[in-house]
Structure formats: structure tokens, C-alpha cells
């Protein structure tokens, strides 16, 4: 059994940065967008539990191999297996090899990306996040400045953080308001 | 909503809650219990923390006020050139460069400070104490009439505490609390592992959660505490060792027969260009000497010349291997 801290560190440093690539892979090989969050979660659990026993030497090929196996299992579990799906899964070996190695992201790239994510937020939300996180005003100060209630500030702040986190993890960065009752207006992109 | 999304919502709520200044030991215990419930919770939390941390860099976009509040730049320069250069620095920050070092912002009376990889800054607190942040460090400080509290969320910081018996100075690092009895000392945090080294005076290190039957340790110069998941070790160390542990304050890394693997780890804390050791045979090479922390290229040249190792530079990594 490995030291949990070591596994956490490995998971954060080597597995999580692969998420944008991984989601692209899932999206290409899985039809239903609404399953993606569950697939990712299941995969992460497997990878993490494997890591507790042994940290793989080469994380990236390991992650994509595990992703491929997971999809194959899901296809097998499905009652109707289309020939097409199996053929696609065979082709996935190649897809893994062709995934281009991403450049290490520097602090500067990251800030640039954050700036883009921030610009994508709706104006009110962006203003709140900017005042709170960048200008460093307190919740009350922001509420006074924009003449809105503190709970509005808090809500906008949470929406904004959530969308930015989504964006930094390779998602669309769109705000996800919880739809009442139906899931019709589900946001695009994974989270 | 899918199961994964529900868990994700919880993880997000935990991250948001942990930011609040009233985050307490019992909150932490509650979070720990939630994490222990399942691997699903654990990975969702790691993922959310990772995302949250990246968004936290937003503070580095802060431009104008940074220059006035933190005398980082002017301090180091001859007076005559000061204004011009700090203007130039302000301009660079507007372009969104975080690599200059420190960012800080206020959050409900709590001041937050962040340094990026390679950063190294000294900040004054309102009570006249000084905190020196090493590379890749995050901390929060709250100073008022009654108390002085600092939370070290990540990294390493050296404290010079202004004497004030009426207001205790307390540093929280994970599940340990360092209570200052008037002094200069260092706290380093890497996940659960916490090290405290005293240069002057005395501090007391204890568990945050009083329920834990851990005896508090009082440490004096020449002593250090290493604490990791529930255990606490007090070791005596030489004053030379204290001096070399604090060498980063002068911008140096000091090694004494240290394995190349851990030397590389140290350099990688300070530089974006990472040292990668390609074969296990070389990772045990022993290195002694002091090096400029930010000059990893000079270190690589030395490995080549003095140790005869092969060094390949692909701009983002320095690959070290034994000569063929």
C-alpha cells in the first residue's frame, strides 16, 4: 500500500492535467454526452485505486489504456452491441498513440487561460469575480458597489468560480445554472 | 443529475467552505470523514482542489495595487532607478505575468499571499512582524487587536515575529498549530508533512485538534519538529543545518552529500524548467555545495563538468543521464 499523500500528489500532478485530452478521447468514442461525467468519475476511481497499489511508471499511456478498457467494458455490458462500436474500440489503440504530447503549461499560459475564462463569463458574474478575487474587495463591499444584495454576490461568485474551474479543467467554462425540474438546458461541454 | 455530478457539487461546496475564515478543526474532521467514505469522494475532491488552485492564480492578475502595497520591487533596487523599474514591473504585471512573484488580496479581513514557482518575497504584517515566503507558497494572515493568526496552506515561510505578549501569534499548518513564544522560525508544509525549524527564541507545536493525545513539543534553536499523519518527531539539528535550511532566504540551495534525486526535487520547486533524471544509477549520485536556486542551468553545467553526467536540454526539461 502506498502512502496516500504520495498517491494524491501523483494523481494531481500527472493524472488530472490529462483531463482535457481524456475528455476529448471519451467524446470521440462515446455517443452520449450525458454519460461523460460518470465515465470520468469511474475511471478516476480505478486509476486512483490502482495507484494505491502501485504508481505506474508511465502515467499517460496507463491512463488511456484504462480509459479504453473502461469503454470496452461498458460496451460489453450494454445488451445490444453494435458491430460499429466494437470496430471503433479496436481503432482506439491508434487514437491513443496519436494523441499529441501537450506542452507543459507554464504559469504564464495559465494566467492567459484564466483571463480568457474570465472574459467568457456573463458581465455581472465577471464583475463580481473580478472585484472579489482580483481587486480583493469583501463580499459586503462588492454588494455595496454594485448595489445588490450580499447573497447575490455570493451566488454570482459561486457560479463564477465553478465556471472558471470547469474552464481550467478543459471544459467549456459555461455557467451551469441548475435547471428546475428538467435537464433540457444542460450546458454544453463536460465539467 | 448523475451520481458523479452530485459528488462534484459536494466537493465544490467543501472547497468553498474551506475558504472561509471560520473553518475549524471540527469542519476539517467532517471533511476527512466525507473523504474516507469512498474513493469517489476522494478523487472528486482532488480534482476540485486542482481546479480551484488553478483559478486561485487570478490574484496574480491584480496589477495596480500590488506595486503600492508590497515594496518588493523598489526594496531591492538602488533608489535612483527605483521608480522607473517599478513602473516597468507594473506594466509587465498588467500584461498578466504571474512569474514576478507575489500576489496578495484581502478576503473578509484575511490577507492572502501567493508566490508562484521561483517566487520569493517578504511581506510585512500589520503588527510589524515579517513573513518571508519561499517558492510556490500560499498563506493567509489575519491580524487584529486580539489575535495574530496565519494559515500556511502550502509551501514554506520564515517568520520574524514582533514581540507582543497580549496577542499570541499562531501558525496553522494542516493539523498542527505552532504557537509562537517570541521568535524567528520556519514552517514548511508539503501536504500532511510539516516541518518547523527555529532560528531564534522558542515555539510550541501542538495538534490543532485538542482531542488528539499528542504532547505539545516546545522547540528551541537547534531543534526541529517533523510531523506527519498523526506522529510528531523532535530532532536535534546543528546550527549549520538550520543555516543551510534557511539558505533559500538568500536565494541559495545548500546540499551536503544529498542524493541527486532529492537535489533535483529541490531545484524543481524553484524552476519551471524541470530536472529529470533518466536512469536510476545516477539518481543516487551525492551532491555537495551551494547553488543559486533559480539558476538551474548553471547547476546542469556543473553536473556535466564535475560529475561527467550527460545533460540534454529541451528547453522545458533538463534530462540527466550517465554518460554512455
Measured distance CA(A125)–CA(A140) in Å, rounded:
16
Domain membership flag for residue B92: no
A165 to B48: CB separation less than 8 angstroms, yes or no: yes
Identify the pLDDT of residue B84.
34
CA distance readout (Å), B30 to A4, B4, B6, B37, B83: 19, 20, 18, 11, 50
Domain membership flag for residue B82: no
Task: Answer whether A147 touches B (CB < 8 Å).
Answer: no
Domain membership flag for residue A66: yes
Point out the domain boundary residue: A98, A118, A145.
A98
Q: What is the CATH number of the domain that holds A145?
A: 1.10.10.10
Handedness of CA A33, A35, A39, A40 (dihedral sign): positive
CB within 8 Å of A79: residues ≥ 6 apart: none
Identify the domain containing residue A44 by its residue range.
4-98
Residue A31 sits in the same domain as residue A8: yes
Residue A92 sits in the same domain as residue A156: no
Point out the domain boundary residue: B185, B211, B243.
B243
Query: How many domains does one find in chain B?
Result: 3
CB within 8 Å of A27: residues ≥ 6 apart: A33, A36, A190
Question: Which is more confidently placed, B16 or B95?
Answer: B16
Asked if residues A50 and A59 have their Cβ atoms less than 8 Å apart, the reply is no
Give the model's confidence band at B105: pLDDT under 50 very low, under 70 low, under 90 confident, else very high: low
In terms of residues, how long is chain A? Answer: 191
Q: Which residues of A touch B109 (CB under 8 A)?
A: 138
Alpha helix positions (H), chain B: 3-19, 25-37, 39-56, 64-69, 72-76, 82-94, 239-245, 260-270, 280-283, 296-307
Summarize the confidence of residues B92-113 as an average pLDDT.
Answer: 52
Question: Which is more confidently placed, A79 or B173?
Answer: B173
Q: Which residues of A touch B113 (CB under 8 A)?
A: none
Chain B residue with minimum CA distance to A178 = B1
B42 to A48: CB separation less than 8 angstroms, yes or no: yes
Residue A89 sits in the same domain as residue A162: no
Task: Answer whether A34 touches B (CB < 8 Å).
Answer: yes
B65 to A135: CB separation less than 8 angstroms, yes or no: yes
Residue A76 sits in the same domain as residue A23: yes
pLDDT digits (tens, 9 = 90+) for B44-101: 999 999 888 888 777 666 543 333 333 333 233 333 333 333 333 323 222 233 334 4
Residue A87 sits in the same domain as residue A17: yes
**Radius of gyration of chain B, Cα coordinates, nearest whole angstrom:** 21
Nearest-neighbour CA in chain A from B164: distance (Å) = 28
Give the model's confidence band at B210: pLDDT under 50 very low, under 70 low, under 90 confident, else very high: low
Identify the pLDDT of residue A179.
47
Domain membership flag for residue B102: no
Query: How many domains does one find in chain A?
Result: 2
Identify the pLDDT of residue A47.
95
pLDDT digits (tens, 9 = 90+) for B151-188: 998 888 888 888 777 888 888 888 788 888 667 788 88
| pLDDT for residue B278 is more than 90 | no
Residue B266 sits in the same domain as residue B218: no
Residue B44 sits in the same domain as residue B144: no
| pLDDT for residue B108 is more than 90 | no
Domain membership flag for residue B226: yes
Identify the domain containing residue B190 by its residue range.
108-243
Identify the pLDDT of residue B285.
82
Domain membership flag for residue B176: yes
Measured distance CA(B106)–CA(A55) in Å, rounded:
39
Domain membership flag for residue B51: yes
| pLDDT for residue A41 is more than 90 | yes
Look up residue B224 and give its three cell numbers.
526541529
**For chain A, how far is it from start to end, CA to CA, in angstroms?**
31
Give the model's confidence band at A78: pLDDT under 50 very low, under 70 low, under 90 confident, else very high: low
Asked if residues B161 and B135 have their Cβ atoms less than 8 Å apart, the reply is no
Residue A93 sits in the same domain as residue A40: yes
- Cβ under 8 Å to B: A residues 69-108: 103-104, 106-108
Asked if residues A161 and B19 have their Cβ atoms less than 8 Å apart, the reply is no
Point out the domain boundary residue: A98, A119, A140.
A98
Point out the domain boundary residue: B243, B266, B285.
B243
Nearest-neighbour CA in chain B from A60: distance (Å) = 17
Residue A14 sits in the same domain as residue A91: yes
Residue B228 sits in the same domain as residue B258: no
Q: Which residues of B touch A112 (CB under 8 A)?
A: 96
Q: Which residues of B touch A19 (CB under 8 A)?
A: 47
Give residue A92's Cα distance to chain centre.
21
Q: Which residues of B touch A107 (CB under 8 A)?
A: 57, 60, 98-99, 116-117, 272
Domain membership flag for residue A189: no
Residue A91 sits in the same domain as residue A15: yes
Measured distance CA(A111)–CA(A106) in Å, rounded:
9
> Average pLDDT, whole number, for chain B?
76
Residue A14 sits in the same domain as residue A93: yes
Look up residue B117 and give its three cell numbers.
514557482
Residue B190 sits in the same domain as residue B263: no
Identify the pLDDT of residue B88.
32
Residue B233 sits in the same domain as residue B122: yes
Chain A residue with minimum CA distance to B7 = A41
B105 to A134: CB separation less than 8 angstroms, yes or no: yes
Identify the pLDDT of residue A119.
86
Residue A116 sits in the same domain as residue A89: no
Residue B221 sits in the same domain as residue B281: no
Q: What is the CATH number of the domain that holds B191?
A: 2.60.120.1440
| pLDDT for residue B220 is more than 60 | yes
In terms of residues, how long is chain B? Answer: 324
Domain membership flag for residue B84: no
Measured distance CA(B17)–CA(A41) in Å, rounded:
23
Chain A residue with minimum CA distance to B105 = A136
Helix, strand, or coil (residue B216): coil
Interface pTM, i.e. ipTM: 0.80
Identify the pLDDT of residue A51.
93
| pLDDT for residue A187 is more than 50 | no
Look up residue A103 and give its three cell numbers.
506542452
Stated as kind and residue range, the H or E segment containing A98 is helix A83-98
> Average pLDDT, whole number, for chain A?
77
Amino acid at each position: 500500500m502506498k502512502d496516500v499523500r504520495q498517491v494524491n500528489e501523483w494523481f494531481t500532478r500527472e493524472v488530472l492535467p490529462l483531463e482535457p485530452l481524456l475528455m476529448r478521447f471519451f467524446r470521440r468514442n462515446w455517443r452520449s454526452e450525458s454519460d461523460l461525467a460518470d465515465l470520468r468519475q469511474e475511471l478516476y476511481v480505478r486509476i486512483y485505486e490502482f495507484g494505491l497499489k502501485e504508481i505506474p511508471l508511465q502515467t499517460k499511456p496507463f491512463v488511456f489504456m484504462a480509459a479504453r478498457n473502461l469503454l470496452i467494458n461498458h460496451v460489453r455490458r450494454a445488451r445490444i452491441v453494435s458491430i460499429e462500436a466494437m470496430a471503433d474500440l479496436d481503432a482506439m489503440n491508434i487514437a491513443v498513440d496519436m494523441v499529441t504530447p501537450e506542452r507543459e503549461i507554464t504559469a504564464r499560459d495559465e494566467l492567459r487561460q484564466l483571463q480568457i475564462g474570465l472574459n467568457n463569463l456573463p458581465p455581472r458574474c465577471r464583475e463580481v469575480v473580478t472585484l472579489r478575487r482580483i481587486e480583493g474587495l469583501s463580499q459586503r463591499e462588492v454588494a455595496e458597489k454594485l448595489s445588490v444584495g450580499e447573497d447575490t454576490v455570493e451566488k454570482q461568485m459561486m457560479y463564477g468560480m465553478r465556471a472558471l474551474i470547469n474552464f481550467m479543467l478543459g471544459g467549456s467554462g459555461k455557467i451551469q445554472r441548475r435547471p428546475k425540474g428538467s435537464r433540457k438546458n444542460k450546458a454544453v461541454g463536460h465539467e | 443529475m448523475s451520481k458523479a455530478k452530485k459528488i462534484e457539487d459536494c466537493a465544490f461546496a467543501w472547497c468553498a467552505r474551506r475558504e472561509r475564515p471560520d473553518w475549524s478543526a471540527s469542519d476539517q474532521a467532517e471533511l476527512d470523514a466525507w473523504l474516507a467514505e469512498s474513493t469517489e469522494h476522494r478523487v472528486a475532491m482532488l480534482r476540485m482542489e486542482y481546479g480551484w488552485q488553478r483559478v486561485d492564480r487570478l490574484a496574480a492578475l491584480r496589477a495596480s495595487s500590488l506595486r503600492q502595497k508590497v515594496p518588493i520591487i523598489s526594496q531591492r533596487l538602488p533608489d535612483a532607478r527605483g521608480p522607473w523599474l517599478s513602473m516597468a514591473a507594473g506594466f509587465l504585471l498588467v500584461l498578466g505575468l504571474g512569474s514576478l512573484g507575489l500576489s496578495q488580496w484581502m478576503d473578509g479581513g484575511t490577507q492572502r499571499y501567493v508566490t508562484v514557482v521561483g517566487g520569493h518575497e517578504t511581506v510585512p504584517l500589520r503588527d510589524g512582524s515579517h513573513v518571508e515566503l519561499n517558492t510556490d507558497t500560499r498563506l493567509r494572515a489575519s491580524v487584529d487587536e486580539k489575535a495574530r493568526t496565519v494559515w500556511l496552506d502550502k509551501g514554506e515561510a520564515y517568520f520574524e515575529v514582533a514581540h507582543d505578549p497580549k496577542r499570541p501569534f499562531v501558525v496553522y499548518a494542516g493539523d498542527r498549530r505552532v504557537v509562537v513564544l517570541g521568535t524567528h522560525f520556519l514552517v514548511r508544509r508539503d501536504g500532511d508533512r510539516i516541518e518547523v525549524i527555529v532560528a531564534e527564541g522558542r515555539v510550541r507545536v501542538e495538534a490543532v485538534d485538542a482531542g488528539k493525545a499528542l504532547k505539545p513539543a516546545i522547540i528551541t534553536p537547534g531543534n526541529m519538529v517533523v510531523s506527519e499523519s498523526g506522529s510528531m518527531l523532535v530532532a536535534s539539528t546543528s546550527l549549520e543545518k538550520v543555516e543551510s535550511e534557511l539558505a533559500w532566504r538568500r536565494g541559495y540551495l545548500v546540499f551536503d552529500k544529498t542524493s541527486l534525486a532529492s537535489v533535483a526535487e529541490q531545484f524543481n520547486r524553484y524552476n519551471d524548467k524541470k530536472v529529470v533524471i533518466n536512469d536510476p544509477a545516477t539518481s543516487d549520485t551525492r551532491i555537495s555545495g551551494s547553488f543559486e536556486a533559480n539558476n538551474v542551468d548553471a547547476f546542469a553545467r556543473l553536473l556535466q563538468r564535475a560529475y561527467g553526467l550527460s545533460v540534454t536540454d529541451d528547453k522545458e526539461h533538463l534530462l540527466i543521464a550517465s554518460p554512455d
